[in-house]
Structure 1
Amino acid sequence: IGHYMYVDSVYVKHFQEVAQLISPKTTAPISGCLSFYYQLKQESSIVFTVYLRDTSGFYEEIWKTDTALSVDWALAEVDFNAPYPMEVIFEVAFNSAKGGYVALDDIAFSPVYCSNQTGTPFNPANAGCDFEEDLCNFYQDHKDGPGWSRVKVKRNVYRTGDHTTGFGYYLLANTKFTSQPGYIGRLYGPTLPGNLQFCLRFYYALYGFFKMSGTLAVYIFEENHVVQEKIWSVLDSPKGVWTQAEISFKKPMPFKFVFVSWCKSFWDCGLVALDDVSLSLGSCQAADSLLHNPGECTFEKDECVFTQKKRGRGSWHRRRGPTPTSYTGPKGDHTTGVGYYMYVEASDMVYGQRAYLISRSLRGIPGKQCLTFFYHMYGAGTGLLSVYLKKEGDDEELPLWRRTGEQSISWLRGLIEYESDRNYQIIFEAIRGVSMRSDTAIDDILFQAGPCLEVEEIQFSSGYPDSLNEIEY
């Protein structure tokens, strides 16, 4: 005695007319089982299909009827994932008006996949790893050699640490002297369900005297096949710089992704480093189109909430790649290795000159807040980098953080915990050191409510006297 939705071919006026029933648009990522009951009767061809449609208008078919007659109500179940805003569309296409109908009822959604109603849904976060504690859900195939090693190298002015913090763990391949030309090291990820779109992101760094192209690749290994399919391979990239790679892929059957390293040269195998592997649902392009956290700035498109504060000739510049002066500054940005960052060019300034980068007015809130950023201070003449808090209505700027002198050849992470219940501004101040090898850079700034969950590991600096901070121009 209840109601249901119904469409009949007697209402068809044109050849190949289509009727659509469209759901509300989702506002948060969802995954699980879509179920519904339907009846279908046709005397000529009727096509009953269920689609997902994203905000760009792209249709993805997730179900189609395989029968021409269903007098009784039939249950249909289909797994689906929507990490981005989308609509579910029930579509009936009529090829003629000779008779036939489709009825639809009891549409339901469960967060547990139809094929796994007694278990838990797949969580893509379980397929990622920062290697800080162990290999997570990854494992190695040792039959070809020593494989990947989990290492920890403290950053200094000569070498790079891990990508996560600069002081943690990462994986390194070709680390043993037993590695020979043709040696292969394989690192297997966990099993992933089929028929889903995935985005794999990771950071890698290459070290070696010879060309390193092809020394790292990613393969897909379907569990019911022996053959592996290559989906990505490294080309030449800046040596010793953490670079981000991202790959979109989809397979019909359950599969694993495999990181494969090769020793290609008899004289020098080189080193291949891997860190911060993450997996998400949907294509990488779709994820990139989502709005970024308004409290986050990577400088990829612009200076975000920051502007120059002119006090003399010193200024910050947005740049990608290495800085113009040798033996100072980063080789690339922190975010991807090939993106943008902000830096102060020392050759345009004189000793003791300052450059200011100041945020717009930020809303104050009660309680602690955390500011995270990455900084780069490399060069024999490196000066000083400071961060200040200026509260609305105050004339004085409150010093929050400072580093003096050469710190590392690679990016380091800064953490600042502060409080302000009034509107405020954050100021980055760079002071030029004793020589032109004094470029200072910052990247990947993040404002977060609440206390910092980690503690910054302090680097010892070569140091300039405190009096340097008193020089005014």
Structure 2
Amino acid sequence: MPGACAGVSPCDNSPCLNGASCSETTTAIGYTCSCLGGFIGQNCAVDAKTVSEFTCGFETENNCVFENVDDDDFQWTYRSGSTTSGGTGPSSAYEGTQYVYTEASSPNFQGDTAVLSTVNTLLAGTSSYCLQFYLHMYGIPGTMEVKFGNRGSSSSSVWSESNDQGNQWVFHQVELPPSFTDPVIFFEATRGSSYKGDVALDLVKLSLGQCASGPSARATNPCNNGGSCNENGSAAGYYCSCMTGWSGDNCDVQDVSGNSYSCGFETDGAPCIFKDTTNDEFDWTRRTKSTPSSSTGPSSAATGDYYMYIETSSPRVIGDTAVLTTQDTNLPAGSWCLTFQYHMKGSSMGSLSVFAGDRSSSLTSIWTKSGEQVDPDLWKTATIDIPQQSNPVIMIDGIRGSSYRGDIAIDDIALNAGTCASAGK
């Protein structure tokens, strides 16, 4: 009951915003706010200026009608450049230098939500709206929703996306019906099952009236990493002019030069030409010390502190595959020597394979090991000749066996130009 305790007032917490004064009442919340001109709402938080059109490019923080809410699990964050995790998130903004995104790494968990809302802005009601935005969902995303409703009432989902859209910004538009007198719009991102689920937004536009037809290929900009899009008469409708250091149809293949590359996995997020692909059932995981399951996996790295492994416990099932690939790297032409340390201990061990070939054709298996290996507690060395190709691609596949006792680990990957001193072992 308001004022029940002497010296305690609901106004002590300063619930009235934007210079408003607070007075105690006998209502359920115990106070009322006297708003200054230009603000309305229970706590004087809503800008009384009616907005009918706006654009948010996120170049300046806190200058957008879409704002973080306080009653969700985590927040949208302003960002420039890449997000902090590999294999997810954009490498740059769609336009300008900044965008907003949800960080899917710990301490955020599956099912956590982050919400942007127009709740602090008075939108013109009783009219149709067209909401347009660019979305980046790459990796193992959760769900992105647009919700719409009346202020103070429950909102309904009017659009959602839960699929990997590739490493690119994708244009979307949502028509919002003229159903509400005091409308509020929400962007709600729900974290998926993996840290590789960063979701990003850029260039959000709201305009009165129905949506026109979608944008051209140039407007959707399928060209990544700063590439420019040029429309033409091809089946795709465009071609990309890539920035220096990038190639591929959509500028998503990094060009490298040199004759030696190595991946020791000692630093999280350190550049490695072997990367997880999204076209498999699960991912390789960076680990130190033992794997979580008994009687399988190494007790420590081959060298240093960290290695990569496949976790074969539930929800994994027999035949599930985890792939590391050089697909995103344009290796120089020629033959190569691949070496790495591998560990295959467990009564239900699956298989570890290396595939190689040219980017323009299918890859061929050139090395494989299956089942628990001799002296299973010891790390073994693989030395593999990669046949000469004009545009080589290499994949390392770990395939889950019949039970959780099938963790496969690798460490100290090295790739050197030329043939190996000895044949593959």
Same topology, TM > 0.5: no
When normalised by structure 1's length, the TM-score is 0.33
Larger strand proportion of the pair = 1
Compare CA radii of gyration and give the structure with the larger one: 1
TM-score (norm 2): 0.36
